[in-house]
Structure 1
Amino acid sequence: MSKVLVVGASGMVGSELVNKLRAKGHEVVRATSKTQLQPDQVHVNLATGAGLEQAFQGIDKAFFLCPPGYTNQHELLGPLIDKAREKQLQKVVLMTAMGANAVEAAPLRQAEIRLERSGLRYNIIRPNWFMQNFNTFWLHGILQAGTVFLPVGDAKASFIDARDIAAVAAELLDSGRFDNQDFDLTGGESLTHAEAAELISQATGKQIRFQDITPQAMLDGLLQAGVPADYAEFLVMILGFLKQGAAERRTDAVERITGRAPIGFAQYARDYRAAWL
């Protein structure tokens, strides 16, 4: 079995991935920006590069993602990819986002290109909007006003469960069947946010609704919440792409890689119902 470095190990995808890799018998090293470390953790500061050399000691394979809050993703991911190449890792799985490859000059696409040209065995996974956004980023509006406030109109999105993303990443790290391929990851259905809110209502017995707001209202709310201006503007921009229909497309990648259909939104809502109560 392999020794796998997981960057973003405490996040929605990373924490699930750690468990799935361990279940497959792999040893996992969790990268963290914290300085108080558990025995299976290493300190890595992607913004400064601190800890990179130590983090890669004895590592066979790695999973990379850029933490939220940054718009210069290529500058944070690039040193990870370079270090993986220097250490001649057996495999790297990089998570970006669906649509990241639409523009070659985009920061996430620049990171993808760097990996593609590294000479390493790799996979790139580009998940669509997470179902778990409803129990994290959009949670405040649901709890305070019973409402999902977003500037997306009636556009549909093929939301994906973070557990499915982790399952895909674990399989790609465990197996070489799909080496040197990239995959757009989606759920099996496309829903409007109003339809998603109705499924949460059914799961919780509470009336949850969706309200369309202006991009400026969204930006103002993010800034008031302390989100850095450049990242707030980035979020509003990609929500605009969602409103234009860019997130509606579905793929069969989850089923092809894991051998099972992706988790449906209704199941997600039942599994996470306690978050909205």
Structure 2
Amino acid sequence: MATHTNSSSPIALIVGAHGTVGSALSPLLTARGYRVRRATSRAPHAADEVHLNLLTGEGLSDALAGVDQAFLMAPPGHVNQDVLLGPAIDAARAHGLRRVVLMSAMGANADERSPLRLAEKHLQASGLAWNVIRPNWFMQNFNSYWIQGIREQGQIFLPVGQARGSFIDARDIAAVAAALLTTDTHTNAEFDLTGAEALDHDQVAAILSQATGRTIGYTEVTPEAMRPGLLAAGLSPEYADLLLLLLSYFKAGYAERTTDAVQRITGRAPISFDKYAHDYREAWA
């Protein structure tokens, strides 16, 4: 692994630096000898932070100035990802970046007209060295998006039936992104990222129960029953509908497939759901 003196260290921009993946990616890049520039849509509060608003384009040129590599993702909660990411990809090309890694989502390439797929194709046609990573559903959803029902009622409430998902730990997504940003082994390639095993939500509940010492179960709900809660949580109607659509794909079995991409890129097996549950057990206490 190459290391660099601080003055000559390449700069890596992380869009979404305070998110689940970005916050795990930052220390990995630092450990590889990179200077990290963390983009935030809020006012910067640290020397390594820079203001960037992908919704308006504000701060884009300053964020990319002097950058060698960038990790890109669309702001959560928006359905027009191609419109938001396109200008960032164009600016990365204009600033002469050496590489861009775009985090998309597993299944985005099932529809050539979907916004995320359009963003992927924009990057692939940009002339930049690129990678596209498409993670499956995050394990960390259970300690964030789905946490309220688990904490308050001891139940995972989702409209997914008994379908299984090969959930992936966000720390593995970050490890893959770090490897792709800092090596040339997999240039101009796309990867679907999954965990090593597919679990249904009864199995997930059993693992969470064992990790926490609580009794946690799974209750299937209808999309119609789930939608008001999504809106109450602040999601736009368009994004709530998209999330429910994606959950319908989960129920149809599209999230079950596993890949060996994490092992191939990082050289180690993906983090198991058991380890995830153990590491985050305080979240459900």
State if a TM-score over 0.5 links the two structures: yes
Residue identity opposite 2:191 in structure 1: F
The alignment's C-alpha RMSD in Å is 0.7
Confirm or deny that 1:187 pairs with 2:188.
no
Q: CA deviation at 1:38?
A: 1.2
2:224 is aligned to 216
Confirm or deny that 1:124 pairs with 2:168.
no
Q: CA deviation at 1:2?
A: 1.8
Confirm or deny that 1:23 pairs with 2:23.
no
Q: What TM-score, normalized to structure 1? A: 0.99
User: Within 1, Cα distance between the matches of 2:203 and 2:77?
Assistant: 28
Bigger Cα displacement from structure 2, 234-243 vs 33-42: 33-42
Q: Deviations over 1:134-188 (max 9, x none)?
A: 0000000001100000000000000000000000000000100000000000000
2:85 is aligned to 77
Please give the secondary structure, in 2, of the residue aligned with 1:274.
Answer: helix
Confirm or deny that 1:161 pairs with 2:169.
yes
User: Within 2, Cα distance between the matches of 1:168 and 1:246?
Assistant: 22
Q: Deviations over 1:24-50 (max 9, x none)?
A: 110000000012431101100111000
2:74 is aligned to 66
Residue identity opposite 1:105 in structure 2: R
2:42 is aligned to 34
2:20 is aligned to 12
Confirm or deny that 1:264 pairs with 2:272.
yes
2:94 is aligned to 86
Contact 1:21–1:28 (Cα < 8 Å) also in 2: yes
Residue identity opposite 2:16 in structure 1: G
Q: Deviations over 1:19-78 (max 9, x none)?
A: 100011100000000124311011001110000111111101100001210000111111
1:245 is aligned to 253
User: Within 2, Cα distance between the matches of 1:58 and 1:27?
Assistant: 11
2:63 is aligned to 55
Contact 2:44–2:50 (Cα < 8 Å) also in 1: no
Confirm or deny that 1:235 pairs with 2:243.
yes
User: Within 2, Cα distance between the matches of 1:203 and 1:130?
Assistant: 18
User: Within 1, Cα distance between the matches of 2:173 and 2:233?
Assistant: 28
Q: CA deviation at 1:197?
A: 0.9
Please give the secondary structure, in 2, of the residue aligned with 1:67.
Answer: coil
User: Within 2, Cα distance between the matches of 1:57 and 1:224?
Assistant: 39
1:273 is aligned to 281
Unaligned runs of 5+ residues in structure 1 are none
Confirm or deny that 1:104 pairs with 2:112.
yes
Please give the secondary structure, in 1, of the residue aligned with 2:66.
Answer: coil
Contact 1:37–1:43 (Cα < 8 Å) also in 2: no
Bigger Cα displacement from structure 2, 27-36 vs 153-162: 27-36
User: Within 2, Cα distance between the matches of 1:225 and 1:171?
Assistant: 35
Q: CA deviation at 1:194?
A: 1.2
Please give the secondary structure, in 2, of the residue aligned with 1:4.
Answer: strand
Please give the secondary structure, in 2, of the residue aligned with 1:156.
Answer: coil
User: Within 2, Cα distance between the matches of 1:234 and 1:174?
Assistant: 33
Please give the secondary structure, in 1, of the residue aligned with 2:108.
Answer: coil
Please give the secondary structure, in 1, of the residue aligned with 2:227.
Answer: helix
User: Within 2, Cα distance between the matches of 1:217 and 1:143?
Assistant: 19
Structure 1 runs, 4 residues or longer, greater than 4 Å off: none
Contact 1:30–1:42 (Cα < 8 Å) also in 2: yes
2:103 is aligned to 95
User: Within 1, Cα distance between the matches of 2:145 and 2:19?
Assistant: 13
Q: What TM-score, normalized to structure 2? A: 0.96
User: Within 2, Cα distance between the matches of 1:46 and 1:231?
Assistant: 17
Confirm or deny that 1:225 pairs with 2:218.
no
